[in-house]
Amino acid sequence: MSENYRKEDIRIIKTRTALSVSMYTLLQRRKFARITVNDLCDEALTSRATFYIHFCDKYSLLSYCLDDIRDNLTNKIHHFTYAHIEKVINQFICDNSKVITNLVENADSEVLNLLRNFMFSMINNLFKREESIPSTPSNSILYTFCSGGMVNLLLWQIENRFPAETPFMNNYLYDMLTYIMDWDKIMSKSKLLRMD
């Protein structure tokens, strides 16, 4: 790898990191809908031209941020036993409740779509750890169903200002997801038996 290529790569990483941090910083203070590309550039000390080299709009930056969060959470989760996953997720929600509220409250369809995709990929990553059978189209349907439910649960938490039962919800959510996946495995096996 040439030295010039490596320097350019480092500059790209630094710029994307600065823009990601600016998104997070601004979400601590205001709603996503009120954040502009100019605000993001001012916060990151970069130009609009530089922003548009890396991202087509604030939604693509948000998608990049969510991918980074997903990867970090997945790495943390892989260091815990399966039973402690809900604690990692709950801690993340508690630590970032202001940012999550500013992102989700009065969110438009594009933000909700990004959140559904984020939840889908989180569920997919979680169950990849546990599945003993290969992915099937029915898994995709289940992940889609569950990710929609998780986004709506998050909206409910925000509308109710993160009620006291919030820490316990992840236990119920974990149990529900496990039950759904176990049910799907049982149904898949029973279909295979009927085919024989």
What the chain holds in terms of domains, given with CATH numbers, is 1-55 (1.10.10.60), 58-195 (1.10.357.10)
Mean pLDDT in the chain?
Answer: 80
The confidence band for 85, taking pLDDT boundaries of 50, 70 and 90, is low
Does position 195 have pLDDT exceeding 70, yes or no?
no
Average the pLDDT over each of 25-29, 32-36, 85-89, 118-122 and give the range with the smallest value.
Answer: 85-89
Higher model confidence: residue 35 or residue 159?
35
Q: Which of 61-75, 139-153, 160-174 has the lowest mean pLDDT?
A: 160-174
| Distant-in-sequence contacts of 139-146, Cβ < 8 A, 24+ apart | 139/184, 142/180, 142/181, 142/184, 144/116, 144/120, 145/180, 146/119, 146/177, 146/180
127/96: higher pLDDT: 96
Given this model, what pLDDT does residue 185 score? 66
Please check whether residue 46 is in contact with residue 19, taking contact to mean a CB–CB distance below 8 angstroms.
Answer: yes
pLDDT at 27 > cutoff 70: yes
Mean pLDDT along residues 126-131: 63
Q: pLDDT at residue 193 above 90? A: no
Name the residue with higher pLDDT: 97 or 142: 97
- List C-alpha distances in Å: 27 to 31, 111, 116, 136, 173: 6, 13, 19, 37, 26
pTM of the model: 0.79
